[in-house]
Structure 1
Amino acid sequence: MGATMAALDILASVVAIAALMVIRGVVLARARGNIICSLRTGGRSWRSGVARYAGGELHWIPFLGLRLRPRHAIARRGLTVSTRRPLTGEDGPAGYWTVDCAGVSLAMSEDALTGFLAWVESAPPSAHLDAA
């Protein structure tokens, strides 16, 4: 009987943690000002998350995880977009666009891409002095 209760306690804990992670993902996806955005660094695979603009930075928070703090902060100062292209199902999320900049690739919807490019271009003129 004791082993059954211990197993049920463990199962209840796992279900509670999974429920909290699902609720966290829904809250992140629906929060005002957040956009659904996948991120890839180096040769890694795409990781799903949300991005939000905070002052002069783009903060990216992964869907999977417990923390609400951003995992990556991409500064607008000196940021240049090297390429942008639509993704196919083979190289990333279908229907998304990828933007390559400063060792980071972002995949987002076309509407989010328009907002991102406007955010990059609206930087003060002195912000691009660092870019070489």
Structure 2
Amino acid sequence: MATVSFAYNRLKTVDFCQWEQVTNLTFISFLSNELTSVPNCINRLTNLTAVSFMSNQLNSVTMDAFADMDNLTSLYLSYNNIRSITVHEGRYPKQLQQIFLRGNKHKCDNHLFGQPFCSVDIDFKPSSRTSNWSRNENALKRQLSILV
């Protein structure tokens, strides 16, 4: 497993559009930076299985940014300011199993079964009115664990 860490660098933006294809990279970390958005062209890193954006300043995430990353199984988004995640039908990593959202500054209301109920808007957008997603036949919803 090849890893790259950009941790603790105060990065505000990162752009992978000029990078050559990196085939042996499976994990990349942007832990504790100042990113406000997912880096451009990160989907060019197609062999990543995990990406960490923990402790940044992300407000929202669209899964389009990871659309061609079919090996991605885990996305670490804890300790940001994330209030919404958008998933368009057909434009997300097909193997994604876990999204970690602990410690985001989302609104926590009533307690449910002894745990605070914290809302993060996850919007699954169908490609058309007649698609499987619009009929609530969404494979991603069945395979994905959201951990807060």
**TM-score calculated relative to the size of structure 1:** 0.25
Greater C-alpha radius of gyration: 1
Which has more helix, going by share of residues? 1
